[in-house]
Amino acid sequence: MTAQFNNSGAAPRRPILVERRHLLPFLLIACLFATWTFAASLNDVLIRHFQHALDISRTQSSFIQIAFYVGYFCAAIPAGLVIRRLGYKAGILAGLTLYALGAFLFYPAASLQAFPAFLGALYLIAFGLAFLETSANPYVAILGPSVTGAARLNLAQGFAGLGAITGPAVGGLFIISGVERSPADLAAMAPAARAAYRAAEAASVQMPYVTLGSAIVLLGLLIAMTRFPEVGTAKKDLPQGGALQVLRHARLRWAVVAQFCYVGAQVGIWSFFIDFTKDALPHTPERQAAFWLSASIALLMTGRFLGAFLQRLVKPARMLGACAAANIVLCLIATGLVGVPAVAALWLSSLFMSIMFPSIFAMGVEGLGHETEMGSSLLVMAIVGGAFIPPAMGLISEHWGGLHAAMLVPAACFAVCLAFAVLVPGTGRVESGPA
């Protein structure tokens, strides 16, 4: 990249993150980051809430994440093809439409009190979110100098933290009723009273999701009326060899594996944070645990904004490696200790998760050129890790040592991310070009 100099020609300027003429599109894209993390973080509340409202087990409740992240997996390649043919903006509008439809379907699902109906609605939401992520992540990364791509993506992901924070908070206020019934309490209730309690608990999701769907429609209208700059190289035909041909880039292959593991670890920790807190500190109210989860995610947002600055000074791979190592240690603490120290370690892990997703993503798509759309699709497909890791943790928690032992699973996932950070280009072990 050609260096920029000031008028005296004495010193090079640091490349800017976002040009002024691209500021409005960038801010709208940043809003998209907040909307998809809001939906994803609400799942962490639903996992605990539906155990009461729909009388399902902890392992069964993990199917919320399976439906959600399988939706991501199934949509990622179609999203990449749509974006490749019609452009990033078309992909965004398609994603928002599907997102809103899925949110509106929560109303009839709650009326039916049918867990499969909720799973279908979550699948549709995630299908739309895959379009949004496949569009927005690479668009932000290439909306400016390539050298600041990771920093720009970290900045946008900082806005994602706003959605991730407000999701559990909104869930704690408007979905969790605060009326907690133990299994013994429910067994002692008359059948009609028990049915009424569960119907009321299920209905508590209706208005939050209808409101969410309405907000998504309004955001879609605003984006439709805004002109977005064209970026990248438009090519209507797939590269020779098909959509997966882009995997000839070794660094992208590693990034897909690392992203699978990272997302699985993050989703697993956040999915069971409320349950973990209740196990470690039994007298903590569920609503309080949900607020602690929001506070933990606030650390992630703080780390994203800090990371956007630091990655202009420190290589993304080095920061990624340091954060992965820190999270391995924190997961081991949560496994080996009890009470407040265990909860505190899990709570702190969000800070070190902060730069991991955007760093892996930006390093994975760097240098792909006209193949960026398909590379982005594969990295979004890797989000399906969130469908596999939480169920594995749920099974371990119920059969082999509780949630403390289950935290060994995300520790192993972070170890894979650490390996990626060590093996990215610059160490001489993984080439950035075709294998």
Closest CA to 156 of 18, 317, 14: 18
What 3-state DSSP class applies to 4?
Answer: strand
Say if CB 99 and CB 83 are below 8 A apart: no
Say if CB 142 and CB 83 are below 8 A apart: no
- Does any domain span residue 362? yes
- Does any domain span residue 238? no
Length of the chain: 435
Which residues make beta-bridge pairs with 203? Answer: none
Helical H segments across 204-249, by residue range: 206-224
User: In 66-115, which ranges are E strands?
Assistant: none
Q: Range of 214's domain?
A: 19-232+243-423
Q: What pLDDT shows up at residue 4?
A: 46
Scan for tokens 């949630």, then name that residue.
403
- Does any domain span residue 290? yes
- Does any domain span residue 155? yes
pLDDT in tens, the chain (435 residues): 444 445 555 555 666 666 777 778 888 988 999 999 899 989 989 998 998 889 898 888 889 989 998 998 899 788 888 888 888 899 999 999 999 999 999 999 999 999 999 999 999 999 999 899 888 877 887 776 766 766 777 778 778 778 888 888 899 889 987 677 767 777 788 889 889 989 999 999 999 999 999 999 999 999 999 888 876 544 545 555 555 677 778 888 899 999 999 999 999 999 899 999 999 999 898 889 988 998 998 888 888 778 877 877 788 889 999 999 999 999 999 999 989 999 999 999 999 998 899 889 888 887 777 777 778 878 888 988 988 999 999 899 988 878 999 999 999 999 999 999 998 754 334 443 333
What type of residue sits at position 424? V
Residue 226 is given by DSSP the state S
Q: Please give the tally of structural domains in the chain.
A: 1
Copy the structure tokens of residue 125: 């939401």
Q: What pLDDT shows up at residue 231?
A: 66
> Which residues contact residue 413 at a Cβ distance below 8 angstroms, ignoring those fewer than 6 apart?
261, 262, 264, 265, 268, 385, 389
Copy the structure tokens of residue 211: 């409101």
C-alpha angle 72/139/67, rounded to 5°?
Answer: 10
Q: What is the pTM of this model?
A: 0.77
- Does any domain span residue 312? yes
What 3-state DSSP class applies to 13?
Answer: strand
Specify the DSSP element, H or E, that contains 5: strand 4-5
Instruction: Give the CATH number, domain containing residue 52.
Output: 1.20.1250.20
Scan for tokens 């120290």, then name that residue.
341
Which tens digits make up the pLDDT trace of 37-58? 899 989 989 998 998 889 898 8
Q: What pLDDT shows up at residue 214?
A: 98
CA distance 208 to 379: 30
Q: What pLDDT shows up at residue 113?
A: 95
CA distance 409 to 389: 7
DSSP string, 131-186: HHHHHHHHHHHTSS-GGGHHHHHHHHHHHHHHHHHHHHHHIIIII--S----HHHH
**Residue 221: left (phi > 0), alpha (psi -120 to 50), or beta?**
alpha
Copy the structure tokens of residue 70: 């399988």
- Does any domain span residue 367? yes
Return mean pLDDT, the chain: 85
What 3-state DSSP class applies to 434?
Answer: strand
Say if CB 292 and CB 165 are below 8 A apart: no
Q: What pLDDT shows up at residue 134?
A: 83
- Does any domain span residue 338? yes
Which tens digits make up the pLDDT trace of 135-191? 887 788 777 676 676 677 777 877 877 888 888 889 988 998 767 776 777 778 888
Say if CB 48 and CB 286 are below 8 A apart: yes
Q: What pLDDT shows up at residue 111?
A: 96
Residue 249 is given by DSSP the state B
What type of residue sits at position 235? K
Specify the DSSP element, H or E, that contains 12: strand 12-13
- Does any domain span residue 12? no
Say if CB 334 and CB 407 are below 8 A apart: yes
